[in-house]
Structure 1
Amino acid sequence: MRLFIPAFTCGIWLLQQQAELPAASWLAGICIGALLLFALRKSALAIRRLVASALLVLAAAALGFVWAAGFAHLRLAEELPAAIEGRDIQLSGVVAGLPQALERGVRFEFDVEDAGTGVPSRISLAWYRSPDAVDDEASPLIPVRAGERWRFTVRLKRPHGNLNPHGFDYEAWLFERGIRATGYVRPRSAERIDARMWRPGYAVEMLREHIRDRFRAALPDASHAGILIALAIGDQHSIDAELWQTFARTGITHLMSISGLHVTMFAGLFHALTNWLWRRSARLPLRLPAQHAAAIGGLFAAFCYCLLAGFAVPAQRTLYMLAVVALARLARREIATSRVLLLALLLVLLLDPWAVLAAGFWLSFGAVALLFHIGGGRLGPAHWLLEWGRAQWAVTLGMLPALLALFQQFSLVSPLANAVAIPVVSFIVTPLALAGALPFLDPLLSLAHLVTGWLMVFIDWLAALPLAIWQQAAPPAWAVLLALAGGIWLLLPRGFPARWLGLLAFLPLLTAVPPRPAVGTAEVTVLDVGQGLAIHVQTSAHDLLFDAGPAFSAEADSGNRIIAPYLRAMGVRGLDVLVISHADKDHEGGAASVLAALPVAVLKASLPFEHALSAQPVPQQPCVEGDSWIWDGVRFDMLHPGAEPLSRKTNDVSCVLRVTAGGKSMLLTSDIEAVSEAVLLKRHPADLAADVMTVPHHGSRTSSTSGFIAAVAARDVIFPVGYRNRFGHPKEDVVARYVEAGARLHRTDADGAVRVGLGAAGTNFRHEREERRRYWHARPPL
């Protein structure tokens, strides 16, 4: 078991790294090969135990690979046909999960029952209220609730997400959840068919929504009500984005979900209660021992709590571990703690092979494995305070490589924050929140909120400390593995020789610096931010960001969701120049978040005086024609705008920047239109020629005139566009002009982030969707 299950896990992980799924014939061959390896292992036992172990590992990995591939083939079969993307489709089904509030509507998962052929069984829908609707902000925007059956007219598209270096894979997240299409409800097309669908899964979701409504009604203006909702029913969307940042800076994010500790505590409470009640009876112990009844009662309580919490991976892991322990007790057998963890791991992966794609999977099982590691090989029990400190030290040190690999940051104040927050949240706030979920116990919610408020005073103070968090570039894989091995060695029991050498293994992890372009060369990355623009230009020692992408909502934008994490992973600690080309939301929507995330030496912009960015405390300069500078042998020339206004349109004052390295140049055109192109042709006829160009205004018909295309004569052009954007960019006739001019086309919706190397050796291109290609990624048709 100790060899089979880790190898089985590795096989599943390997399958999830594949760009294409193996054909069924290949999978059959692999499965037969695995069975042959099992047969050879039995004969190898007589020869050498090491050979038998190697054959077992190979066979288990092959079985894991085939198991995950079988699930993947079944899920890929549910694919939305390209022919019905963007068309009105009438369907009926059931709201399958908690509706989540959007800025002007709600989003919810929907189980399709009747839609004709081609529509997947589970989709994600957004329902927006009409722009002219006037609703109270405190009231639900859309009257849709979990467990209701509706008939909608919708427009669907295949799952698609932005894909950037070191960025979040939204398509993988949707695929793991079984969501094979997304879309929105067409206006005035909705009809409720049934108010309640009493099936077990829907009933659980209805109960969760009822509890959430009760919490919100009992704590209407409470600033931390979302924390109590998350602890009671696992609805993490109820917590504000600012609070999540505070939790990340203090390392207590894991406490704001239904963690294993919470499930264990809840199960332990019911175990003790069942045991006490059972012993009070004169007859029940004669039919079933109290220990067995308590094990069943605790397991049932854990199962109910996991259902209420949405069955996340940490909750699943704990439930399965408790199930193994309960079954062992019922069978009157003892089982090693390592086997309990491995069996729980196996059950998680058998039911959900895509769990290995989630950061929570590795962090959850890793943390428990570390606790088991430090608990083994000790000579005897120690003082509880020493045990608590040892556990904190082990989890902090052991999880450091994983946190830096996944998030490129970790909290320096985490041990202190967790030392206070874990007992308060686990033994006071969570029990009160769960008790408050029962009818007529609303006053307990006020008490839970009061305690949470006291705790948050301390957490906010820790988060505000200047050195609360360590941030760095994404470490290479070899440095992560070396640090993991060093952590395990360092946490061995006292008496093992040279344990201090484990600390040396962390040095590459903390000091690794990502490579930068050589002097005289530049790397330009056109980020995939959807329908908008954000370009990172990096030289040997300088960094420039040209535009900051769109805003998605009041709390989320390209700056905090895409650009800042990307720059942190690339090792960029500050920007020498931030250029905001003009005052359009798809270009400046993330600028404030970028300015808040890292220092900026100079802000160059073409913005009106009254724009909010003009009040930012950073040195500012206007984009002016003729401005130029040289960094590390790379030349930057601002070609537009001029001094006099061309029109009242913001697009006509867009900054146009040319980057030249080693005789190769790239033209960043932002949203200039035909009027601006004509001015550039007049003023800079000899300066427009470039090897690479970002297409003006995302390929709109108001730009890319034939004369401008001929003057630039770019061999490669990049369309920064969003997948199936509402503007229909790029227009077909504009694309045709570039094709006729002989240019090679690159698109962020089809290629993800496009990285361009400029230098004397020429230009080279790297597409994120090619480099990170996975079998669930659907390449959009051009």
Structure 2
Amino acid sequence: MLRSIISALLKAAAAASFLCLSLLSPVLIPPLYAGAALDSLNEITAPAESPVVPWPPEPPAAGPAASVSAARALNVYFISVGQGDSEYIELPNGKNALIDGGPSKSTGSLLAQFLARHNVTKIDYVVLSHPHTDHYTGLNYVFSNFTVGNFYDTRMDNLGSAADNALRDRIRGLGVNVSYPAPGDALDWDPDVQAKVFNSCPVSTQSFSGQAVNNCSIVIKAAYQRSSVLFAGDIENEVESALVSKYGGELQADALKVAHHGSSTSSGEAFLAAVKPCDAYISAGAGNNYNLPAAAVLARLWAAGATVHQTDMDGTQEFSIGASPSPAGQALAFMR
């Protein structure tokens, strides 16, 4: 019986992987990356990045707003910031966005190194998915060293922490345009990119509960040309189920930023069946105290046919749509 169950799972994963592979154009792999274990694709490996910029690093000299591929590409970087989250997006129109900033000053310096390598001098759009320290602390560096055009926030007030509201007060004091997107809203980032909000808490809410704060995460899907990326924040099973009921196949995305660092309370089978990710990106710290990503989540992702990429094992990862990755690219780029 056990053998037949395992065989069925392997067949399902193989079928899903074939579907993902059939969507792929040739794969470009820049030569600067540590390889992922147990991926379903053969990948070329090389060492991951190592910290080289002192804390706090000097902000970059004035120059281009961001390093953007000369071709019209959408480049997404899943930045290795330890046990936390941070994603940097280069938009085809030359603008850029940052979702979350990582957990602490030490890992905030890793974000600083990344932004310096990419010659970033301003950030057009910053998103705080939800007010947990592993997502917002590094944003203190961002707002201290860069001009930020727009800030997107949830109205969840984490009563277990005062630092999130201190950051918010500081941002308002800088005169940054602050928005609280609601589910269904379209974000006007680029006329050629469809960026839609699937989840948020646009109405003022307070809680001590970590689960409640997680479930207020801003969830965004960015679609460009024939491909898309879903950023799931830290949502848990309850919200995943609600999104599947409300949006169904609209959740489908080629790349998924896996919710809650690969926690077993997220990435349910029904949600993954709706998203159908070909590539799944997990942001977690090496040797973290939470044993993340959970083995059960990895099994569900593989069964769904996803190739799994982990920042704790592979460092910063890149997913690129529409063109070759930028010269400073640090990871795998799947061309669709």
Using structure 1 for the length normalisation, give the TM-score.
0.32
Select the residue among 183, 187, 194 that pairs with 1:625.
Answer: 183
How far did residue 627 of structure 1 move?
A: 1.9
C-alpha separation between the residues in 2 aligned to 1:757 and 1:590?
24
Residue of structure 2 equivalent to 1:702 = 265
From 126, 130, 136, give the equivalent of 1:588.
136
- CA distance in structure 2 between the aligned counterparts of 1:568 and 1:604, rounded to whole angstroms: 23
Alpha-carbon distance in structure 1 between the residues aligned to 2:88 and 2:325: 16
Percent of aligned positions that are identical: 26
* 2:151 partner letter: L
SS of the residue corresponding to residue 686 of structure 1 reads helix
CA change 1:703–1:763 in 2 (3 A) is: farther
Contact 1:656–1:670, Cα closer than 8 Å, also in 2: yes
Q: 2:101 aligns with which of 545, 548, 551?
A: 548
Name the Cα RMSD after superposition: 3.3
Is it true that 1:636 corresponds to 2:203 in the alignment?
no
Matches of 1:569 and 1:687, distance apart in 2: 35
TM-fit CA distance, 1:676: 1.1
Counterpart AA for 2:303: E
1:718 CA displacement: 0.7
1:143-180 deviation line (CA, Å, top 9, x unaligned): xxxxxxxxxxxxxxxxxxx955xx6259xxxxxxxxxx
Deviations for 1:107-156, whole angstroms, at most 9, x for unmatched residues?
xxxxxxxxxxxxxxxxxxxxxxxxxxxxxxxxxxxxxxxxxxxxxxxxxx
- Contact 1:558 1:590 (8 Å CA) reproduced: yes
Contact 2:69 2:324 in 1 (8 A): no
Counterpart selection for 1:656 from 202, 205, 219: 219
C-alpha deviation, 1:678, in angstroms: 1.3
- Secondary structure of 1:592's aligned partner: helix
Asked which structure has the greater RCO (Cα within 8 Å, sep 6+), the reply is: 2
Matched residue of 1:583: which SS? coil
The structural deviation recorded for 1:720 is: 0.7
1:567 aligns with: 115
**Given that residues 517 and 538 in structure 1 are in contact (C-alpha distance below 8 angstroms), is that contact kept between their aligned partners in structure 2?**
no
5+ residue gaps, structure 2: 1-30, 34-46
Which amino acid is 2:225 matched to?
Answer: G
CA shift in 2, pair 1:681/1:631, >3 Å: same
- Per the TM alignment, residue 621 of structure 1 is displaced from its structure 2 partner at its CA by 1.1
The residue aligned with 2:302 is 739
Q: Distance in 1 between matches of 2:251 and 2:215?
A: 17
Seen in structure 2, the aligned counterparts of structure 1 residues 643 and 589 have a Cα distance that, compared at 3 Å, is closer
2:166 is the counterpart of 1:612: yes
Alignment of 1:2-41 (within 5 A): none
Rounded Cα–Cα distance in structure 2 between residues aligned with 1:630 and 1:770: 24
Q: Please state if 1:719 is matched with 2:282.
A: yes
Identify which of 758, 762, 773 aligns with 2:321: 758
CA contact (8 A) 1:581 1:656 kept: yes
Matched to 2:82, the amino acid is: G
**What letter corresponds to residue 637 of structure 1 in structure 2?**
K
Question: What's the secondary structure of 2:308's corresponding residue?
Answer: strand
Deviation at residue 635 of structure 1 after TM alignment: 1.8
Q: In the aligned structure 2, how far is the partner of 1:536 from the partner of 1:606?
A: 19
Question: What's the CA shift for 1:745?
Answer: 0.9
Matches within 5 A, 1:300-699: 470-472=61-63, 514-516=67-69, 518-519=71-72, 521-540=73-92, 541-551=94-104, 556-559=105-108, 561-608=109-156, 611-615=165-169, 616=171, 617=174, 618-628=176-186, 629-641=188-200, 643=202, 648=209, 649-699=212-262
Q: TM-score of the superposition, structure 2-length normalised?
A: 0.72
Q: In the aligned structure 1, how far is the partner of 2:32 from the partner of 2:80?
A: 22
2-side partners of 1:736 and 1:621: how far apart? 37
SS of alignment partner, residue 249 of structure 2? coil
SS in 2 for 1:685: helix
Distance 1:770 1:652, change over 3 A: closer
Give the strand-richer structure, 1 or 2.
2
- 1:612 Cα deviation (Å)? 1.4
Instruction: Give the letter for the 1:634 counterpart.
Output: V
Q: What residue identity is the alignment partner of 1:666? A: V
Deviations 1:592-643 (A, max 9, x none): 1111110101110125467112212222111321221241512211111255
> Which one has the bigger helix percentage?
1
